[in-house]
Amino acid sequence: MLEVLRQRNFTLLWFGQLISVIGDWILWIALPFYVYGQTGSTLATGAMFAVEILPAILFGSLAGVFVDRRDRKWTMIWADLLRAFVLISLAVVSFSNWLWIVYPVVFIQSTISQFFNPAKNAIIPTLVSKQNLMAANTLNSFGEHLASLLGPALGGTVAIWLGLMGVVFLDSATFLISGLMILLIIVPFEPEKTQGEEAQQAVTNIWTKVWRDWLAGLRLVKSERLIAALFIIVGVTMVGQGIIHVLWIAFVKKMLGGGAWEYSMVQVAVTAGGLVGTLIIKRVSEVLTLGRLISLSGMTLGLLFLVTFNLLSLPIILVLQFLAGLPAVGFFVTIRTMLQANTTDHYLGRVFGAYNTTNALLVLTGQGLAGVLGNTLGIVPMLNISACLYFLSGVIALALLSNRVNATQKLTNPGNTL
């Protein structure tokens, strides 16, 4: 895997992204905690998360069309420059009462990222040889996990030392560093040749295409019981995850009396558990059928969350969240594997398009529920509901994926698919 780092172009991209994603994590530890600290409102905090996820629903397909018709290297460079410029406007929030600026800035930042991310994934095959593509993607995934471990750890400390303004300028600088490294990449560009009529049709029908593809994916999902079951199982957890996104900050601040540092430590604990989980999941999958692994992971996550949200001891919570990182890998990685194994290549794009869009909508639903009901029902009761949703997903998996023979056969012989 490390031999890929000897390839100059990929190394430039990898290190640039490592630095940039660490900067993003630092911001996303400090910013939501700042919003909640200024407003004391779960609704205001939930709205920020909702604004961040909306562009993935609205512009994901449009961005993909754009990336296929433009130079991917320069798409990424301009995206980094624009994000660095837009982010600076958040500095105004630090010395004014204009908290509303957070929402359009977060929306614009997320929208620009919808163009950067597919361009990054599409350019990797041009930076490494075909035989090294798996190693490159593995190293890319390792970098993301490493950033998600280092970023939260640094986020709490930087937020205390530098305040929101310092965090904003630091994250903006990481975008500039990423853009500079991408600029140094040498890669040929051969734009896709598209007839004028086809290009015009692509532009005029882009919005109908977004929803048509999503609905087509849902129809394919509905026609295959196993895939439909996987959508239902993960969909239940996405509502719970949306609730947790919003209320973790309130829980740390109000229930634990903590601040940005304590919040960042929770994120570090979860990520560390996830890293360990990636090392042992293969061995566990050799002992359990994948259906049972999903079921056991979902129920274990629910129980760990339920205990976590009813304790007021940060050290114990950190241990529990480290442990939660282990079944989280087993749950989500196994679901993705089963989806890939039970869908023919011709339909993979549409199925995963439906999967991603549906999950984004359900996370948004959970965030909305947390924002509206967090102040009414209370922080802990709402978090308990999210824990119960995770446990429920495991119960549903036990009921819908109980046919261990079929599940195993379809993984080893995915020819019997859509």
Q: What is the CATH number of the domain that holds 350?
A: 1.20.1250.20
pLDDT for 252-267, tens place per residue? 888 888 877 787 788 7
Indicate the DSSP class of residue 369.
H
pLDDT for 100-155, tens place per residue? 788 888 899 888 987 887 777 667 767 776 666 556 655 666 677 678 777 766 76
Task: Return the residue matching tokens 């300028």.
Answer: 169
Same-domain pairing of 296 and 403:
yes
Residue 391 in this model has a pLDDT that exceeds 90: yes
Q: How far is CA 323 from CA 143, 326, 396, in A?
A: 21, 6, 22
Final residue before a domain boundary, out of 152, 178, 204: 204
Residue 20 or 375, more confident: 20
pLDDT for 27-56, tens place per residue? 877 787 777 777 777 677 777 777 887 887
Q: Would residue 133 count as lying in a domain?
A: yes
Same-domain pairing of 256 and 172:
no
Q: Would residue 100 count as lying in a domain?
A: yes
Residue 309 in this model has a pLDDT that exceeds 80: yes
Q: Would residue 269 count as lying in a domain?
A: yes
Residue 65 or 244, more confident: 244
Final residue before a domain boundary, out of 173, 204, 235: 204
Residue 69 in this model has a pLDDT that exceeds 60: yes
Q: Would residue 211 count as lying in a domain?
A: no
Same-domain pairing of 40 and 94:
yes
Q: Would residue 309 count as lying in a domain?
A: yes
Same-domain pairing of 225 and 154:
no
This prediction has a pTM of 0.65
**23 and 173 in contact (C-beta within 8 Å)?**
yes
Same-domain pairing of 137 and 256:
no
Non-local (6+) Cβ contacts of 371 within 8 A are 42, 43, 44, 45, 46, 47, 50, 246
Residue 109 or 221, more confident: 109
Name the band, by pLDDT with cuts 50, 70 and 90, for residue 397. very high
Same-domain pairing of 407 and 268:
yes
Residue 226 in this model has a pLDDT that exceeds 60: yes
Q: How is residue 65 written in tokens?
A: 């069309």
Same-domain pairing of 113 and 181:
yes
Same-domain pairing of 306 and 384:
yes
Arithmetic mean of pLDDT over the chain: 77
Domain that holds residue 307: 220-418
Q: Would residue 209 count as lying in a domain?
A: no
Residue 83 has a pLDDT of 92
Indicate the DSSP class of residue 205.
T
Residue 42 has a pLDDT of 67
Quote the number of domains for the chain.
2
Name the band, by pLDDT with cuts 50, 70 and 90, for residue 156. low
Q: Would residue 215 count as lying in a domain?
A: no
Q: What percent of the chain has pLDDT over 90?
A: 20
Final residue before a domain boundary, out of 204, 234, 261: 204
- Of 323, 64, 373, 13, nearest in space to 192 by CA: 64
Same-domain pairing of 128 and 43:
yes
Same-domain pairing of 159 and 291:
no
Same-domain pairing of 196 and 231:
no
Same-domain pairing of 32 and 171:
yes
pLDDT for 160-196, tens place per residue? 677 777 888 888 899 999 999 999 988 765 544 444 4
**112 and 175 in contact (C-beta within 8 Å)?**
no
What is the mean pLDDT of the segment spanning 333-347?
A: 70
Name the band, by pLDDT with cuts 50, 70 and 90, for residue 381. very high
**309 and 265 in contact (C-beta within 8 Å)?**
no
**246 and 367 in contact (C-beta within 8 Å)?**
yes
Q: Would residue 162 count as lying in a domain?
A: yes
